[in-house]
Amino acid sequence: MMFNSLGFALFLPVVFLIYWLLRRSLRWQNVFVLAASYFFYGCWDWCFLLLIAFTSAASWLSGLWIGRMSRRHGRWVMWGNVALNLLILGVFKYFDFFAQSFADLFLGGRADGLLLHLVLPVGISFYTFQALSYTIDVYRGTVVPTRDAVAFFAYVSFFPQLVAGPIERASSLLPQFHAPRRFDYALAVDGLRQMLWGFFKKMVVADSCAVYVDHAFANIGSANGATLLVGAVLFSVQIYGDFSGYSDIAIGCAKLFGIRLRRNFDVPYFSRDIAEFWRRWHISLTSWFRDYVYIPLGGSRVGCWRVVFNTFVIFLLSGFWHGANWTFLLWGAYNAVLFLPLILLGRNRRFRDVPSAGRCLPTAADAGRMALTFVLVTVGWVVFRAASVGEAVAYLRGVVSHGLLSHPDGLRGLGIGVLMAALPLMVAVEWCNRDAEHGLARVPRCRWLRWMCYMCLIFIILAFAQTGEMPFIYFQF
């Protein structure tokens, strides 16, 4: 079941109503959340419910055992659960990749009999990392192991963020399933506003970009440089509108149930260098690798060569987390190369404030830095989007080789017209709310003007969204 589907439009009001009818019983409320989340996930494939249930059970039991054992014995349980969950993730997500790579190196590419051809369970990378963080935090002593299995299973499978995050920590989300929840009208209204903004970014901006981006990547050999350049820029817009749109819908949906999720995007394309970009993009994953990989390796408190090693480790792992393809590893390495000079020169924390705070427009210096960062990030997104390293090289070569000053192909039709109007609107709204939680966090105080804004967005979504249920990009990860 996808957020941008008729099924979800029917599912959400029913779940919302029953959930708050059960408000007098926290236990039954959590049971219902768990059942609704499993139904939501089971709409893709009921067989994979066994997998998420097994992951949840293994992590919950590991937490209980760690809490009863000495630190030395608890370490073995913690590492055992980490290995078990990573093994499951590895078999489903990476086995065929390594088998095919082995066949390419030693068997002349003949991988018959080696490949499992397993269907990748949707969201497995997200809920696996969420379960792992609980076990590790229990071992570290920063989280008390819970005896409430229902609350824990609901924490792992909470349907708004189950499929594509944010990747929550037990220290933040699990206590919310232990405490009674009261309906908060202001929070629910803010959640609906955030969902509305997320649907606009996904269904109008991102999906409109997708039509042109697919055309550009499907015609790399014949398209001129201008077509490929516009395709690269629009993919940067698409992946942001798609993934941040999902995050806004997820976070806003959780607010309807009195649950607060962490922010996952913080206007990343207004970043003034690559370090700031990675503090603002997919925050829950970036912070996960920082806290559970980078800092345990020594972070930036070690020697120069060790810092280089640590930086490449987290970016390569981040790339590989996205999928079993050499393009993701290359994308991770590319970002590590961009990040290294900043961290070695101690400039990786230079920009931690709101870009051009208090100004209507960015300063000339900030605008230049933002433009350069966007260009560097866009080059990386081409590698990320390409089906192979060869395709990525061909695409980038095609951008600069011929026809860069020509007219881009495919820039015609209603979809492009809608995009040319919706994209500036998205940029303007997010710039004006760059110091707020989401794009519609601030709305006009005048009621009729506020509702006119809502109605205009709803009309735009209903009238100009692409036909069909276009999947979210990060569902494949």
Model pLDDT for residues 278-300, shown as the tens digit of each residue:
999 999 999 999 999 999 998 88
User: ∠ at Cα 150 (286, 165), nearest 5°?
Assistant: 20
Structure confidence at residue 47 (pLDDT): 86
The rounded distance, in Å, linking the Cα atoms of 177 and 151 is 6
pLDDT of 238 above 70? yes
The rounded distance, in Å, linking the Cα atoms of 40 and 32 is 12
Structure confidence at residue 37 (pLDDT): 95
Structure confidence at residue 415 (pLDDT): 63
Hey, what are 151's tokens? 């609350």
Using the CB atoms, write b or e for 191-218: b if 16+ within 10 Å: bebbbbbbbbbbbbbbbbbbbbbebbbe
The whole model's pTM is what? Answer: 0.92
407 is catalytic: no
Q: Average of pLDDT values for 320-349?
A: 90
Asked if 339 and 278 touch (Cβ cutoff 8 Å), the reply is yes
Q: What is the SS3 string spanning 94-119?
A: HHHHHHHHHHHHHCCCCCCCCCCCCC
Structure confidence at residue 445 (pLDDT): 81
Structure confidence at residue 300 (pLDDT): 82
pLDDT in tens, 66-79: 989 888 888 999 99
What DSSP designation does 201 have? Answer: I
pLDDT in tens, 160-170: 999 887 999 99
- The distance of Cα 131 from the centroid of its chain, to the nearest Å, equals 17
The rounded distance, in Å, linking the Cα atoms of 222 and 420 is 25
Separation of first and last alpha carbons in the chain: 16
Q: Average of pLDDT values for 8-21?
A: 95
The rounded distance, in Å, linking the Cα atoms of 124 and 87 is 12
CA-based torsion, 129, 131, 137, 139: positive or negative: negative
Average confidence score pLDDT of the chain: 90
The rounded distance, in Å, linking the Cα atoms of 271 and 264 is 15
pLDDT in tens, 385-399: 999 999 999 999 988
pLDDT of 328 above 90? yes
**Residue 465: pLDDT band with limits 50, 70, 90:** confident
In the chain, pLDDT over 90 holds for what percent of residues? 60
pLDDT of 236 above 60? yes
Structure confidence at residue 267 (pLDDT): 94
pLDDT in tens, 129-148: 999 999 999 999 999 999 99
pLDDT in tens, 152-196: 999 999 999 998 879 999 999 999 999 999 999 999 999 999 999
Structure confidence at residue 296 (pLDDT): 92
Structure confidence at residue 358 (pLDDT): 82
pLDDT of 400 above 90? no
Element (H, E) at 31: helix 26-42
Hey, what are 475's tokens? 């569902």
Structure confidence at residue 60 (pLDDT): 95
Q: Average of pLDDT values for 6-14?
A: 92
Amino acid at position 56, single letter: S
Element (H, E) at 344: helix 326-344
Domain boundaries, the chain: 6-182, 186-272+351-476
Structure confidence at residue 411 (pLDDT): 66
pLDDT of 414 above 70? no
Radius of gyration from C-alpha coordinates of the chain:
23
The rounded distance, in Å, linking the Cα atoms of 216 and 220 is 6
Catalytic position from the list 322, 402, 407, 438: 322
